[in-house]
Structure 1
C-alpha cells in the first residue's frame, strides 16, 4: 500500500513530546512521577481522588470493625 503524505513528512512512530502549558516538563522525569503529577496531584482531578481515597478508607475501616467486633453481632 502506498504511503499517503508528503515526502518530507516524518514517520508516525516518532515519540510525541508532551506539551505542558505551564512549561514544567522535565525530560528526566520518570513515568511514575509523571503519572503522580498529572493524575493524582493535579488540581482538576483532586476532588475525585479524595472521594476515591475516602471510599477506600471507609471500606477498610468496615472490614477492620467487622473482623474485630463481628462476634458481637451474632446472637449467642
Structure 2
C-alpha cells in the first residue's frame, strides 16, 4: 500500500546488550490505472423512434485494472 513506513531492527545478546537501527521506506504509486473502453457505436433506430434501450450484453465490458487495490470505476 502506498505510504511511508518506519522500519526498526533490534539485536540483543545474552549479556543484555542491544543495538537498534531504523530506516524509512516510502512506497509510491506512480502508475496510472489502465482503462479500456467500448469502441464507438452507431445505432440506427426505426423511423419515428428516437430512443434505444441497451439490450443485456450489447456493449463490451469495460476493462479497468490498477496495480493497487481499491480503485473506483465511475460512469
TM-score w.r.t. the length of structure 2 is 0.18
Tell me which structure has the larger Cα radius of gyration. 2
Higher relative contact order (CA 8 A, sep 6+): 2
**Structure with greater helix percent:** 1
**Structure with greater strand percent:** 2
TM-score w.r.t. the length of structure 1 is 0.18
